[in-house]
Chain A
Amino acid sequence: MSPAEARLNPIASRSSQRILFPRRLRRTCFHLIQRVNMKLTLALSLVLLVFLCQNVGGKKSHKPADLDDNEFAEFEDFDDEGAEQEATVEEEADFPSESDDIVKTQAKKDDDNEEEEDEGVVENDDDEFEHFTDEDEFEGFDKESRPGKGKSHEVPDLKIAKVPIHLRTNWDSFYLEMLMLAGLGVYFLNFLAGKTKNGKLAQAWMSSHRSILEENFAIIGDDGLSKEAKGTGVFNKESENVYTLWCSGRTCVEGMLVELRLLKRQDLINVMTTIMKPASDQIIVKVTMDASSMDKFCFCIGQKKVMAKLLKEQPDLGQFTEKKAVENYNLPESFQLQSEIGEATSIVLDKKVCAYLEKYEQQIEYIHISDQYSGAKSQYDENQSKMPDVRPSLVFCFNVPGKGKTKTSDVDGMLPLMKLVFYCVDKVGRLALSKEKRLKAEKNRAKAAEGYLKAAHSQLQEAAQLRREEKRRLAKEKIMNEEDPEKARKWEERESKRDMKKKQAKTKMMKVKGM
């Protein structure tokens, strides 16, 4: 209002004054308000900015550590780890109970989801927890970022491949099978090695002894199967460690069987036994004499350990021979002498033979010369009632030096012993006992034969007795089964009469004898 108008209108002028005065105030107030407004707006905008930032940051990072700072923390998205959530539940004890329940149920839900995922099946969320997924219910709750649901979308269907059972376990777990196979492999390799070694030893013996054999025999090596008696010149392989050679066609001799009883190098168990208890390869020479070529006597000399066994096994040694002193012949103490006729023994054990025995003490196992040689007694036939088949024979058993670790050169060293064999054969063929010694020998043999006859007779008697008993038993059984008492009584009467007669006959015989 202008001043002129104010004079005309005093009220208006007063109001205008009033207006003037507050105008200044208004202006200042306006300015103040403006300033305050600006500040307020600034502050509000700052708050909003912070709030927005927090919201955005909450989406990106899943740190439950912000729980304390943000009042919206309880509605924040958590990681899937149920353990983590449980840990956070335990840690944040000052949470309102509502938020605890929410966290727990969320954790449980995630756990359920995890279990379901292990089975390879994805199930929908439970309906009872649907209100937790309502966006309207909670501020700042982001339905899209729920871990359970998100996870179920990400994890594909798990298909457990069917691995075969035998490939699941490691090859290392089959160590026992590997051991077994290795053992078999070792056994087989040893078999091959032992077989080859034995073969080589036999070959070496053959090559070194061929000349002496050819000098003495018409045929060397006969398997007995071929039509013609042709000398093969090679061993017969009885087994991987036993080789035999039959030679024939010589004076006084029916034939000679050379048996190479080598160690069982092809059997690993035997090899290990030999390592613990050393043994030697043996050469057994058995010369079968012609029936008329040899005088009747029995003789054996050998290592003490072997003699005990021979005495048990060889019936002729047990029947005819007696132990004699070795000192009489100046022989080593390790030998034991069994002899029937001393004259024959002294003829056989001449200087040359004694020299051989002394020189090759370790190599000569035994020398058995007998006209009643029948071979080893069978263990099963204890009561020998029948006289065994006897042939006049000379048996030589030699040990190959080396005690198992034999080389082919050791086998060559057996040649002098083969010469000893032929020497003894010739000597025994020429041997002639004096008359009385011969009679003594014959008497011994007759006694032995009688003994066999008696044994046979007693066996027959026993058999007859048994048969009689059996008959009586059967008859008695028959009578017992008989129902008719009359018949039974009659039979019993007959039996008693028979017994009486027998007794009378015996007493009669006794009386006659006494007279």
Chain B
Amino acid sequence: MSNAATNDVKRPNKIHRYKPKDSSAPGDDPTPDYMNLLGMIFSMCGLMMKLKWCAWCAVYCSFISFANSRASEDTKQTLSSFMLSISAVVMSYLQNPQPMTPPWQ
């Protein structure tokens, strides 16, 4: 390696700015989007059909979506999905305070 000429390598006048990747294009990892959508579907199912397990799955899906989310994504959507799933759980228990029964029983 040219140790003597290392100083010559730098060119402060040839600086190019960073262009962030286009966020609208589908990224490498579609997991957060899928999980977001799945979470919303489970929340609606849990609310409409009063299924406790659906509501709990919705909470898990929104959590996974949050964990995998990109920094460039809007946090509002993730947060709204989370709040929706929490409300689904709360509503199912208010309507029917009985404990959840596993499907095999």
Contacts and interface: CB of A to CB of B under 8 A. Distances in A.
Contacts of A238: 70-72
Interface stretch (A218-226, A324-332, A357-365, A473-481): A218-226
Given A215-B6, A267-B64, A249 B15 contact: yes
B15 A218 contact: yes
Contacts of A222: 17-18
B97 A239 contact: no
A169 interface: yes
Nearest to B100: A176
Contacts of A174: 99-100
Nearest to B55: A180
A491 interface: no
A191 interface: yes
B41 to A, nearest CB: 18
B97 A187 contact: no
23 contacts: A173-B99, A174-B99, A175-B99, A176-B101, A180-B56, A184-B63, A187-B63, A215-B6, A218-B10, A218-B11, A229-B15, A239-B68, A240-B67, A240-B68, A248-B17, A248-B18, A249-B15, A250-B9, A251-B8, A251-B11, A254-B14, A266-B67, A267-B64
A228 B86 CA distance: 44
Interface in A157-201: 165-166, 169, 173-177, 180, 183-184, 187-188, 191
A224 B9 contact: no
Nearest to A240: B67
Interface string B1-34: 1100010111111111111100001100000000
A217 B99 contact: no
Contacts of A248: 14-18
B8 A218 contact: no
Contact of B16 (A215, A254, A422): A254
Given A176-B102, A224-B18, 15 more contacts: A176-B99, A180-B59, A184-B60, A215-B9, A215-B10, A218-B10, A229-B15, A238-B71, A239-B68, A246-B18, A250-B9, A251-B11, A251-B14, A255-B18, A257-B18
Nearest to B96: A165
Interface in B43-83: 56, 59-60, 63-64, 67-72
Interface of A is mostly: mixed
Given A264-B68, A267-B64, A249 B14 contact: yes
A47 B34 CA distance: 101
Nearest to A237: B71
B97 A165 contact: yes
Contacts of A223: 18, 20
Contacts of A218: 10-12, 14-15
Interface string A253-272: 01101000000101101000
Contacts of B1: 419, 422-423
Nearest to A173: B99
A422 B67 CA distance: 35
Interface of B: 1-2, 6, 8-20, 25-26, 56, 59-60, 63-64, 67-72, 97-102
A216 interface: yes
A250 B63 contact: no
A167 to B, nearest CB: 9
Contacts of A380: 26
9 smallest A-B Cβ distances: which pairs?
A224-B18, A246-B18, A166-B97, A218-B12, A222-B18, A174-B99, A249-B15, A176-B100, A173-B99
Contacts of A225: 20
Given A176-B102, A215-B6, A224-B19, A249 B12 contact: yes
A111 to B, nearest CB: 36
Contacts of A264: 67-68
Nearest to A217: B10
Interface centre among B9, B63, B64 (most CB of A within 10 A): B9
A180 B100 CA distance: 11
Given A173-B99, A239-B71, A216 B6 contact: yes
Contacts of B68: 239-240, 264, 266-267
B64 A177 contact: no
B39 to A, nearest CB: 13
Interface centre among B11, B16, B59, B70 (most CB of A within 10 A): B16
A255 to B, nearest CB: 5
A177 B52 CA distance: 10
